[in-house]
Each structure stands twice: as C-alpha cells, then as structure tokens.
Chains A and B, each alone.
Chain A
Amino acid sequence: MATRYPGVIPPHMLKRLSEHGSESQRRWASSTLSTDRHFRQPMAAREMAAALHAEYSNSPRGTPSRYIFDAGHKTELPGELVLSEGEPATADDTAHEAYTDLGATYRFFYDVFERHSIDGEGMALLGSVHYGEAYQNAFWDGRQMVFGDGDGEIFLPFTRAIDVVAHELTHGVTELTAGLVYYNQSGALNESISDVFGVMVKQYQAGQTVDEADWLIGAALLGPEVQGKALRSMAAPGTAYDDPVLGKDPQPGHMDQFVDTTDDNGGVHINSGIPNHAFYLIATELGGYSWETAGAIWYAALTDERLANDAQFVDFAGLTMAHATQRFGSKVADIVQKGWQQVGIGP
C-alpha cells in the first residue's frame, strides 16, 4: 500500500517537465530519479578503490596510469574493468572518451606544471562510465571519477566534454593540495579552480589562444533540446543557459552580485562565476596561451602552502598577485590585480 500526502505541493520542476518536456524527457526524468535503489555499499567501493590505487599507481613520471570501468548502468563502484593503460581502444566510445580525456588531462598537468597525476606521485586515474540509468552528473568521490550517460536530450554522456573530465580530475588535485573546504567562498574557489583548469585543458588540447577560445564549460555535453550553450560561461557568467527545464544560469560575475545562499553548499557552483571571470579577464588581457602565464600563476597559488583550506576569494587573489610579481614581474602583477578589481575583489 502506498501512502499519499495530500499536503504535497507538486515539485515545480516536475510540473515544468510535465508542461514543457517532451514525452521522452518525461520518461528520462523517471529513470534518472529512480537510480538510487542501488546506491549503497560505500565501504566496499572505498576498499576496492584503495586496492586498485595500491595495485596500479606505479607509472613512471610522464606516463599516466588509467583504468576505466563500466558500471553497467548500476551505481556500485567501480564496476567492471574494461580498459587498462596501454591497451588498444575499446569499442565502447564512452569508455574510450574517458580514457583519452583523462590522458589529455594528465598530459596537461605533466607537460605544463610537471605534476605527475592527481597526487604528484603517479596516482592511478580511475574512471567509471555508464554510471546509473541516464544519470545526469559527473563527480569525483575522493577516490575516482564517475561519469553518467545523461539522458541524450538535455545532457549527453559526461565524457563527451574534455573540460568536464578535467574539471573532475582537478577536484582530486585540489583535494590533495589546498583541500579547499567545499562550502561558501572556499567551496566556490574549489569549483572555480576545477573550471579554470578544465577550460585550460580544453584550450591546450585544441591549441587555442585566449582569443580563439570560447571560455565555456561543458559546451559539448548539452543536448540538442537545451536552450543554452554550456553549463557555465567564464567570459559572461550568468549567460550559459536559460531553459524551461534547467532554469536560468544563476552565476554572478562580480562581487556586487554575490549570491548569499545556503543552497548548493553556500553557492559553490554559483559564486564560482566571480573567480572564473577574474581568470578570464586576466588571461585575455595577458594574451597568448592561458596556461603559460595566468595558468602558471593559478597553479602556483593553488599549490602554495599559505593557501588555507578556508580561503576566501581575496586570499587567493592575494596569492596570485604575489606569484605574478615573483615569477613574471610588476607588469603582469598589475594585470592580475586589475583583473581581480574588475570583479570587485582586492584594493
């Protein structure tokens, strides 16, 4: 017997979907929402990941150690191992995308910053694909990366976007360096750093200068039904989408519009638009390739032991200015300071 609650107000998004979504979108919504049945066994997953890291984290410097698992549309991690480092391409495009995107992200961190994987010591890159049924998310769980397939209309497979794959891997880097607390400004900084390195990996892979880049996050994974161009825009925060199902992009690009909220862990994916936009302003003012100067400054600040895990935007900005001065001189430091000022941070 099912108990119905007469006082329940229909969720506004399901109403939106029922009014505006296609028949297949409605089917997708039901499927996505029912993935949680098999979510348990976190300890088993943790033990499995620890064993995998112990076994596979042994690559020489300059070489990644990638292992891709197929979760088989279930939610137990990591799933079945389907592609190991050095093996020929698999017929599964999604597994292959995860493998190549993780390789490109490894290559970026190693070539540009001489960082040997997530921990700097060759940590295995574990990724699970086909997680859940039409699961519309990708995440880093502290041990591995996980990618859903999306529904095919709003979200395509999350491996489709190299910047999203790099975003998740960078969460691992941040966790093992600054360890920025995932709440309020430090959480938004954590999110912004994943976007900054994610977009740089995309630009590095494409060989794009700052003027050639689109400065969008997740453009490749939005489906044809979405009224929008990406998950986020670093050039113009708040303009990435305005969609009947997703709603409107809530990101601010200036401290004047800082969103004071308890949603989203204090707006970690919302207020990240502010440091995102600062990076965009600084990188485009500097010109050339984003990773050469702006990226080098951001990496130095991220890995600086003075960066506290509860750092505020202004703390991170101060470190970027210090590293800009130390590594590139006062002219670059002035550009960095001006960029932060343009988003309302710093003197």
Chain B
Amino acid sequence: MSRFDDLNHIARLRITREGGIVAAPGLARPRDIELSRCSPPEQQQLCKVLAAGEAAGGDQACGAGDQRYFRICLFTLSRQEAQPDDELRVPESLAPDALVQLWRDGRIDDPS
C-alpha cells in the first residue's frame, strides 16, 4: 500500500531536481504534469512511479552535504500559484529510473 495508490484527487504534479552545491534556478528544471490530460493507464503508471519512489527511500531527510534529490509536489488545484497538498522527496542516489525518466523526458517507458 502506498499513499499514492490513488491520485483521483490530484490535479497536478510538479517534479524538480533540487540540492547540489549551487541553487541555480536553471538547474531545477521543473516538470509539470496535468493529471486531467492523462489517460487512466497513464495515471496508473504515475501512481506506480510515486509508490516506487516512496519505497526507495522517499520522505527521507535529503540533500545534506550538497547531495541532490528529486522533489515531487502534488496539488489538488491546477493553478500554478497553489501550495502543494502533499510532497515526496527522493534522494538522487535512490531514485528509481522511472522517476528520473519522468522528470527528464516527461514519459515513462512501459516495461510491458
């Protein structure tokens, strides 16, 4: 069980890569995903990616000593200025490939 098994109440995800020795705004490369524009199978894949990130070490205190980490903010409202309603942090060293790919490419390779 994961708290990300159901994303029905979520309007938008934002994935950033944070941390590192410098907080240059250009290095975070935020990736926004509007759930309303994803098909049910795509939403299921997103659930799996978030659950995998959670299982791999998400929500740990991360970033100490300039280590990088992925930060996933979940919003119930789609407007950009909304505050996140939930958040998951995954150290870069523990991040599942699918999460990295989702942030980097905006897609997930389906193993099937």
Chain A interface residues (CB < 8 Å from chain B): 1-14, 16, 33-34, 36-37, 39-40, 42, 75, 136-142, 158, 164, 167-168, 171-172, 175, 182-183, 190, 218, 231-232, 241, 243-250, 263-265, 267-270
Closest 3 CB pairs of A and B: A7-B37, A247-B25, A140-B65
Interface residues of B in 52-68 (CB under 8 A from A): 61, 63-68
Are A1 and B110 within 8 A (Cβ)? Answer: yes
**B76-112 contacts to A (CB < 8 Å):** 92-95, 97, 100, 104, 106-110, 112
- How many residue pairs link A and B with beta carbons under 8 A? The number is 155
B contact face: mostly helix, strand, loop, or mixed: mixed
Nearest to B42 among chain A residues (CB) is A3
Verify B65–A7 contact, CB threshold 8 A: no
Do B24 and A139 have beta carbons less than 8 Å apart?
no
**Contacting pair A218 B107 (CB below 8 A):** no
Query: What residues of chain A lie closer than 8 Å to B92, measured between beta carbons?
Result: 36, 39
In the bound complex, what is the Cα–Cα distance between A4 and B102 (angstroms)? 10
Q: Can you report 7 A-B residue pairs in the complex whose CB atoms are below 8 A from each other? A: A2-B107, A4-B106, A7-B35, A37-B97, A182-B65, A247-B25, A265-B63
**Smallest CB–CB gap between B102 and chain A, Å?**
8
Residues of B with C-beta under 8 A to A264:
18-19, 23, 63
CB of A141 within 8 A of CB of B94, answer no
| Contact (Cβ within 8 A) B29 A12 | yes
Which residues 2-54 of B have a CB within 8 angstroms of A?
A: 16, 18-38, 41-42, 45
Please state if A137 and B20 are interface contacts (CB–CB under 8 Å). Answer: yes
Query: Could you tell me the distance in whole angstroms from the C-beta of B50 to the nearest C-beta in chain A?
Result: 14
Q: Are B21 and A13 in contact (CB under 8 A)?
A: no
Q: Which of A33, A37, A247, A265 contacts B18 (CB 8 A)?
A: A265
By the criterion CB–CB under 8 Å, are B27 and A7 in contact? no
Contact of B106 among A1, A5, A39, A245 (CB under 8 A): A5
Q: Within the assembled complex, what's the spacing in Å between the Cα atoms of A33 and B100? A: 8
A141 → chain B closest CB, angstroms: 6
Q: How far is the CA of A4 from the CA of B39 in the complex (A)?
A: 10
The answer to whether A164 and B21 touch across the interface, beta carbons within 8 angstroms, is yes
Interface of chain A: mostly helix, strand, loop or mixed = mixed
B19 touches A168 (CB 8 A): no
**CB-CB nearest in chain B for A10:** B106
Do A139 and B61 have beta carbons less than 8 Å apart? no
Contacts of B112 in A (CB 8 A): 1
Q: Are A9 and B19 in contact (CB under 8 A)?
A: no
Q: Once the chains are docked, how many angstroms separate the CA of A140 from the CA of B66? A: 7
Residues from chain B with a CB closer than 8 A to the CB of A140 are 64-67
The complex places the Cα of A343 from the Cα of B41 at a distance, in Å, of: 53
Taking the closest CB of chain A, its distance from the CB of B60, in whole angstroms, is 11
How many angstroms between the C-alpha atoms of A12 and B32 in the bound complex? 10
Q: Can you name 12 extra interface pairs (CB under 8 A) apart from A7-B36, A139-B66?
A: A1-B110, A8-B31, A13-B28, A33-B100, A37-B97, A39-B93, A39-B94, A137-B66, A164-B21, A231-B22, A241-B24, A249-B24
Q: In the complex, which of the residues A13, A138, A268 contacts B27, with contact meaning CB atoms closer than 8 Å?
A: A13
Supposing A2-B108, A36-B97, A39-B95 touch, asked if A142 and B65 sit within 8 A by C-beta, the answer is: yes
Chain B 69-80 interface 0/1 with A at a Cβ cutoff of 8 Å (1 = within): 000000000000
CB proximity of B88 to chain A, nearest CB, Å: 13
Q: Is the CB of A6 within 8 A of B110?
A: no
Residues of B within 8 A of A218 (CB): 21-22
Interface centre among B28, B29, B92, B108 (most CB of A within 10 A): B29
* Chain B CB within 10 A, most for which of A13, A171, A250: A13
Closest A residue to B110 using CB positions: A1
Bound CA span A60–B95, Å? 40
Q: A75-B93, A137-B20, A265-B18 are in contact. Are A13 and B26 (CB under 8 A)?
A: yes
Contact present for A7 and B24 (CB under 8 Å): no
